[in-house]
Amino acid sequence: MEKLSYDAIVVGGGLAGLMAAHQIASAGFKVAVISKVFPTRSHSSSAEGGIAAYMPGNSDPNDDPDFMSYDTIKGGDYLVDQDAAQLLSEKSGEIVKIMESWGTLFNRQPDGRVAVRYFGGQTYPRTRFVGDKTGMALLHALFQRVSGIGNVDFYNEWFSLDLVTDNKRVVGVVAMEMKSLNPVLFKARAVVMATGGMGMLYSHSTNAYINTGDGYAIALRAGASLKDPEFVQFHPTALYPSDILISEAARGEGGILINNKGERFMKRYAPKKMDLAPRDIASRSIITEIREGRGFPGGYVGLDLRHLGEEYIKERLALAYEAAKTFSGVDATKEPIPVRPAQHYYMGGIDVDITGKNPDIIGLFAAGEAACVSVHGANRLGSNSLLETLVYGRETGNSVVSFLRDYSGSTSDMEKEAEKVVEEIYRFTKSETGVHYGEVLNKLRDIMWEKVGIFRDEKNMSEGLTEIMKLRDMVPSMYVTDKSSVYNTEFFNALELRNMLDLAVVIGTTALNRKESRGAHFRTDYPERDDQNWLKHTIAYSKGKTVEITYKPVKMTKWKPEARVY
Ligand SMILES: Cc1cc2nc3c(=O)[nH]c(=O)nc-3n(C[C@H](O)[C@H](O)[C@H](O)COP(=O)(O)OP(=O)(O)OC[C@H]3O[C@@H](n4cnc5c(N)ncnc54)[C@H](O)[C@@H]3O)c2cc1C
């Protein structure tokens, strides 16, 4: 197999990966960024509403980083590592300023300061934005910046298959050029997984089709652990029926949720915060309204923006307006937008500490949605993810630099291991019979939505898990119809499905294991939060066909768990 050598490999060209690559390359190390799409097409580009930041002199006079940390911790139902949330808040203003100096043109207030809007779960408004295309603006500015550094090589439309390790030490990554199916062993002392989320595991998701959780599965197969994998976020307002996200900015700017009686139903579920309650609460409230007969036919509620006025909607919520018009035929200036919840974000991720380092494999780092630091705990607050990708992308990049300076790394080739990775997957294109991957994919997505979704219980999850395990057993007999080696997208879809199945087993097992309700993990059979037994992180390993679960304490600094009322 062809081999290439770098100091560090970053898998993922979204905000987290590019920020990490920026730091590593700026310190003089050679970096390869491997991405299955052109970097600016990463899901970060779809982020709409904004990035949270406390900016001294440009925030509410009563606000401070401690308030921001408190909101994040309470929003995450106290499963947040408090030192991680504090670092996030403290570095938030600085990162926005850096991105601004690199060319992100944030919306302004009339006095010239960076504009700000409310997002769910915030005591004071902190979300900074570029209309409702914030992620696009950030990603383009960052990509341009990183492209200007000499020692970064981009491998675009390259699919990362597996990590290669020697005695729990990173040797490199096996990746395949998608155009030719040509595999290459990228050798490096450090690897940063910045592979983003996994929305495609669910039949309803706001995520891009590329969000198939590859990084989580790659880490699991290499023997690394996932932290809090049972926590999946559902966003309350996905457009009906296409599931395109209608940003929380719509409610941040004053939009309200109404049922089929025209009633502002959030007053029943979150009397103070109302429509700006955190996402887990708002999603469950919408499903409850629909289940109790107060939804609209087809199963949705209305997001009413009409009172904001046509000019305001078209300026501040342009994307929401256009999406509703194009994909649902609804003019948001005249009618409420039809919305329902859909999978949106993954709080769980590759276990890393506050420096982005994984404790299981030397040289393995992770950042962004692929990682669990944990700043979001059991439920992420809106606009904290873009912030996390940049703040922790930077921290992780810096700690890779220290690691590379201190550590000479493995010299072994592990060529046989690399060959094995590829042999195993070629059989998808070789066999003519068995199960077509498409059948398995649709079943998996329906099971996850129905049995490991917004409302969970023992009976459904056990059934779901058994079905998922059966689907995973089909992987060896899976085949694709396209046998060519030129842009064989079907082949890569099958590889993604294999990753999704590995992850689904871990999510199902850990969700069944956590016998309480916390944040986005809501169990109808255990509806209360149970701090006595469950105020701890789940740590999960893949062991053959089973999942091994251990625990880690939650880091507490200043804030004691309280009832989570909004
Ligand atoms: C519609 C939508 C709107 C959102 N709006 C907001 C918002 O307003 N504010 C906010 O804070 N958050 C928002 N989020 C969440 C936030 O955008 C994401 O969590 C964040 O951008 C993830 O960034 P990332 O760098 O971790 O991953 P991504 O941007 O998803 O990038 C992942 C990268 O990994 C690569 N990759 C994955 N697998 C492989 C593989 N096997 N081989 C090679 N490369 C691979 C991909 O090519 C891609 O480059 C939104 C999310 C969605 C879906």
Q: For strands 301-304 and 337-346, give the pairing.
A: antiparallel
Distance CA 214, CA 386 (A): 20
Which one of 406, 427, 451 terminates a domain? 406
Encode pLDDT of 548-565 as tens digits: 999 999 999 999 999 998
Judgement on whether residues 69 and 146 belong to the same structural domain of the protein? yes
Residue 53 is assigned to a structural domain of this protein: yes
Residue 555 is assigned to a structural domain of this protein: no
pLDDT at 336 over 70: yes
Helix or strand (DSSP H, E) at 234: strand 232-239
Domain that holds residue 472: 415-533
pLDDT at 498 over 90: yes
What is the position in ligand 1's atom list of the atom closest to the CA of 52?
11
Distance CA 20, CA 396 (A): 6
User: What is the DSSP-derived secondary structure letter of residue 442?
Assistant: H
Judgement on whether residues 197 and 85 belong to the same structural domain of the protein? yes
Judgement on whether residues 48 and 192 belong to the same structural domain of the protein? yes
- Rounded mean pLDDT, 172-196: 97
Encode pLDDT of 198-217 as tens digits: 999 999 999 999 999 999 99
Would you say the CB of residue 213 lies under 6 angstroms from ligand 1? no
Residue 453 is assigned to a structural domain of this protein: yes
Please give the distance, rounded to the nearest whole angstrom, from the Cα atom of residue 196 to the centre of ligand 1: 5
Judgement on whether residues 389 and 493 belong to the same structural domain of the protein? no
pLDDT at 519 over 70: yes
Judgement on whether residues 249 and 202 belong to the same structural domain of the protein? no
Report yes or no on whether pTM surpasses 0.95: yes
Which residue from 92, 179, 186, 195 has its CB within 8 A of the most atoms of ligand 1, so it is best to mutate?
195
Other residues' Cβ atoms within 10 Å of the Cβ of residue 500 = 26
- Rounded mean pLDDT, 403-415: 81
- Rounded mean pLDDT, 409-415: 73
Judgement on whether residues 260 and 138 belong to the same structural domain of the protein? no
Which residue from 9, 37, 44, 143 has its CB within 8 A of the most atoms of ligand 1, so it is best to mutate?
44
Would you say the CB of residue 161 lies under 6 angstroms from ligand 1? no
Q: How much of the chain exceeds pLDDT 70, in percent? A: 99
pLDDT at 246 over 80: yes
User: How many domains are contained in the chain?
Assistant: 3
pLDDT at 487 over 80: yes
| Contact yes or no for 500/444 (Cβ under 8 A) | yes
Encode pLDDT of 51-91 as tens digits: 999 999 999 999 999 999 999 999 999 999 999 999 999 99
Please give the distance, rounded to the nearest whole angstrom, from the Cα atom of residue 115 to the centre of ligand 1: 24
Judgement on whether residues 393 and 465 belong to the same structural domain of the protein? no
Distance CA 28, CA 24 (A): 7
| Contact yes or no for 363/190 (Cβ under 8 A) | yes
Question: What pLDDT does residue 409 have?
Answer: 65
Q: Which residue has the tokens 């932290």?
A: 227
Encode pLDDT of 319-332 as tens digits: 999 999 999 999 99
The DSSP annotation for 529-559 comes to: --HHHH-EEEEEEEETTEEEEEEEEPP-SS-
Q: What are phi and psi of 388, to 5 degrees?
A: -65, -40
Contacts of 439 (CB under 8 A, 6+ apart): none
* Confidence band, pLDDT 50/70/90 cuts, at residue 411: low
pLDDT at 12 over 80: yes
Question: What pLDDT does residue 430 have?
Answer: 80
Q: What are phi and psi of 8, to 5 degrees?
A: -140, 150
pLDDT at 429 over 90: no
pLDDT at 44 over 90: yes
Would you say the CB of residue 133 lies under 6 angstroms from ligand 1? no
- Rounded mean pLDDT, 281-306: 97
User: First and final CA of the chain: distance in angstroms?
Assistant: 57
* Confidence band, pLDDT 50/70/90 cuts, at residue 431: confident
Would you say the CB of residue 12 lies under 6 angstroms from ligand 1? yes
What is the position in ligand 1's atom list of the atom closest to the CA of 35?
44
Question: What pLDDT does residue 132 have?
Answer: 85
Which residue in 251, 279, 472, 518 is the catalytic one? 279
| Contact yes or no for 127/57 (Cβ under 8 A) | no
Judgement on whether residues 49 and 165 belong to the same structural domain of the protein? yes
Residue 267 is assigned to a structural domain of this protein: yes
- CATH number assigned to the domain comprising residue 284: 3.90.700.10
Q: Is the dihedral of CA 256, 261, 263, 268 positive or negative?
A: negative
Q: Is 295 left (phi over 0), alpha (psi -120 to 50) or beta?
A: beta
279 is a catalytic site residue: yes
Among residues 435, 549, 432, 456, the alpha carbon closest in space to that of 501 is found at: 435
Other residues' Cβ atoms within 10 Å of the Cβ of residue 205 = 26
Would you say the CB of residue 383 lies under 6 angstroms from ligand 1? yes
- Rounded mean pLDDT, 352-378: 98
Judgement on whether residues 25 and 174 belong to the same structural domain of the protein? yes
Residues in the chain: 566
- CATH number assigned to the domain comprising residue 481: 1.20.58.100
What is the position in ligand 1's atom list of the atom closest to the CA of 244?
1
- CATH number assigned to the domain comprising residue 53: 3.50.50.60
Would you say the CB of residue 40 lies under 6 angstroms from ligand 1? no
For the chain, what is the mean pLDDT? 96
Please give the distance, rounded to the nearest whole angstrom, from the Cα atom of residue 405 to the centre of ligand 1: 29
Judgement on whether residues 393 and 422 belong to the same structural domain of the protein? no
